Structure 1
């Protein structure tokens, strides 16, 4: 995707995540791989996700240098750069502090597919990074997060938040929203004494092809963008 279109989608991604409850004051960030291999376009530091406009975005090189943009980069840029270096299939990354997932990661229990949303993460599940609950500030820490993530679509950062990935912003953002919903539903089931049953990993892989094919992820994304447009025009 050309950088101009990627940057426009990055702004939409920030706004969608904010509207869905992934905003944490000015913290949390989203990134998309820049064309020509120069680095990643990122949400800048100091602004809430809902405030972001195209001119606010910063281009961050693989070594952390800001190559374009007038704002400061987030200190946790290694989450994004090191995952993308480790995973050539990943074109976009989300890191948020959404409360449901942060709470869930403290329980030391696996996320299981008790709902449609849970099947999105089969068969790998959602691994948990436990080396630190502090900020991810170095390449070495970013590499450790990438190693924990492996080939999964998401990882919990215990006591911190989540990381979700995708080939593009549609996939990475929808993964973040689905993970939030999956955690909420399992937390509710656990509070009621369960869960007692859930979809097997094998069945979840098949079910995922029915409930979350690419076309339906795009429909969900388009709906969320339309919702933002309606709100801004109200």
Structure 2
């Protein structure tokens, strides 16, 4: 599990989603003891197996050295609510945070966008503060529902997947989709995007598990080169 957490954080760093020492990935403990996360105070690209901790549902550090992140309930509560989810990602993507502030629908203007539009992805707007309590984590889990991702107003993004590849790639692709729509809006648009039928077809064509896994493996290769 420690190696999985390391790979997830380094892949996100390779994709440009690092934010100094903030943001985190949570991976479900196979024995139901909580979420494996990086210890607080380390950047995504700095994570190694010694900087990974197992955080219990009550916030206690069950295994590992170092402090846990304040926002552990993002992970423990989504994992509690979603038995289908093995990995939760929370980052402070600049594009996603900026896009969330506009309160406009996500449009499927390219391949990336079809994962989060038609229907539009959920938005958590209760607070832009840190989600440090089980109550706030549970409320976020309720807003996320069965979706792949959720925008956090004045905060960032959360994604949830059945494995590391899906959760990490959802975060990467949501960041890209937000950035492209921001570019289109700055140019006066968008004026064209996929309707619901085309978006559904493109999700099947463009994003089978094999393609998400291919992107995940690419990010791992880039991360490995950067840490040599």
Normalising by structure 2, we get a TM-score of: 0.97
- What is the DSSP-based 3-state SS (H/G/I as helix, E as strand, rest coil) of the residue aligned with 1:89? coil
Measure, in 2, the Cα distance between the counterparts of 1:200 and 1:180.
21
Measure, in 2, the Cα distance between the counterparts of 1:66 and 1:230.
31
- What's the Cα RMSD here? 1.1
Counterparts of 1:60-79 in structure 2, within 5 Å, are 60-79=55-74
Partners of 2:108 and 2:118 within 8 A in 1: no
Equivalent in 189, 210, 224 of residue 229 of structure 1:
224
Equivalent in 37, 46, 67 of residue 42 of structure 1:
37
Alignment-derived partner of residue 108 in structure 1: 103
Measure, in 2, the Cα distance between the counterparts of 1:72 and 1:112.
39
Unmatched runs of 5 consecutive residues or more in structure 1: 1-5
Equivalent in 140, 156, 160 of residue 145 of structure 1:
140
Unmatched runs of 5 consecutive residues or more in structure 2: none
Measure, in 2, the Cα distance between the counterparts of 1:124 and 1:56.
38
Q: Does 1:197 align with 2:188?
A: no
Once the 2 structures are TM-superposed, how far is the Cα of residue 232 of structure 1 from its aligned partner? 3.3
Partners of 1:7 and 1:54 within 8 A in 2: yes
Alignment-derived partner of residue 117 in structure 1: 112
Alignment-derived partner of residue 54 in structure 1: 49
- What is the DSSP-based 3-state SS (H/G/I as helix, E as strand, rest coil) of the residue aligned with 2:227? helix
Partners of 2:14 and 2:222 within 8 A in 1: no
- What is the DSSP-based 3-state SS (H/G/I as helix, E as strand, rest coil) of the residue aligned with 1:114? coil
Once the 2 structures are TM-superposed, how far is the Cα of residue 44 of structure 1 from its aligned partner? 1.2
- What is the DSSP-based 3-state SS (H/G/I as helix, E as strand, rest coil) of the residue aligned with 1:37? coil
Alignment-derived partner of residue 172 in structure 1: 167
Partners of 2:118 and 2:195 within 8 A in 1: no
Alignment-derived partner of residue 161 in structure 1: 156
Once the 2 structures are TM-superposed, how far is the Cα of residue 96 of structure 1 from its aligned partner? 0.5
Alignment-derived partner of residue 96 in structure 1: 91
Once the 2 structures are TM-superposed, how far is the Cα of residue 8 of structure 1 from its aligned partner? 1.1
Count residues in correspondence.
228
Measure, in 1, the Cα distance between the counterparts of 2:38 and 2:21.
10
Measure, in 2, the Cα distance between the counterparts of 1:35 and 1:122.
32
Partners of 2:106 and 2:117 within 8 A in 1: no
Measure, in 2, the Cα distance between the counterparts of 1:124 and 1:192.
24
Partners of 1:130 and 1:158 within 8 A in 2: yes
Q: Does 1:87 align with 2:91?
A: no
Partners of 2:13 and 2:223 within 8 A in 1: no
Once the 2 structures are TM-superposed, how far is the Cα of residue 122 of structure 1 from its aligned partner? 4.6
4+ runs of 1 displaced by more than 4 Å? none
Normalising by structure 1, we get a TM-score of: 0.94
Measure, in 2, the Cα distance between the counterparts of 1:105 and 1:32.
25
